Amino acid sequence: MKPECEHVIERLGLLRSLCDFNPCVIGTPPLGIDLPTSDIDIAYSAEELSQFRRCCHKNFGSLDGYWCYDSIAQNLPAVIVKFNSMGWDIELFCQTIPTEQQWGVRHFQIEQRLIELDPRLRIAVQQLKQKGIKTEPAFAQVLGVDGDPYLAMLELEQICDRELKHLISTSIQ
């Protein structure tokens, strides 16, 4: 059995060794909707992506499956680092915009808020995830939200808790 997500984060120093990059743990384990195949996701921000890349290589470059590559997200450059440790796949994501403005962090925050408003949502989303549906599409499907699920989730940020509760209650019977 693999260790708890928090233990892995602490043991590897994923927050401590990269604290200068404003880390934010996101993804399904902290939401309680993870599956045995779920990974650990952490978002970071850096003015210079090369600094993040160097720091990751120094701290994690020797770990199993280490891979670092450039990407584009929100039409901005990003660095993605992946590796395996203690039975977990780990993904570190860094952009030059503040961590709290990154879509992954914003998705995580609205999903966390929705689950806090109605914990039944956790079970409904997890059931869809067990069928292979990704997290944001699963939330959108449960809530009956149309269109691009990644954009739709961001639109929910602006809705007050009362309206979100109503949306959830009409979606989950």
Q: What is the pLDDT of residue 98?
A: 97
What's the half-sphere exposure (Cβ side, CA atoms, 13 Å) at 108?
A: 21
Q: What is the pLDDT of residue 104?
A: 97
Report the 10 Å Cβ neighbour count for 18.
21
Q: What pTM was computed for the model? A: 0.95
Ranges in the chain, pLDDT < 50: none
Whole-angstrom distance, CA of residue 67 vs CA of residue 84: 10
Q: What is the pLDDT of residue 128?
A: 96
Q: What is the pLDDT of residue 101?
A: 97
Mention every residue, 6+ apart, whose C-beta is less than 8 A from residue 43: 23, 24, 26, 93, 94, 95, 99, 102, 104, 105
For 78: left if phi > 0, alpha if psi spans -120 to 50, otherwise beta; the answer is beta
Q: Where does the chain show beta strands of DSSP type E?
A: 24-26, 40-45, 67-73, 76-85, 88-95
Query: CA separation (Å) from 122 to 31, 101, 114, 132?
Result: 8, 24, 9, 15
Determine the 3-state secondary structure of 35 from DSSP.
Answer: coil
pLDDT in tens, 117-128: 999 999 999 999
Tokens 């039409």, residue located: 75
Locate the domains of the chain by residue range.
Answer: 5-97, 104-171
Q: 65-83: b or e for each residue (b if 16 or more CB lie within 10 Å)? A: ebebeeeeeeeeebbbbbb
In the CATH scheme, what is the code of domain 5-97? 3.30.460.10
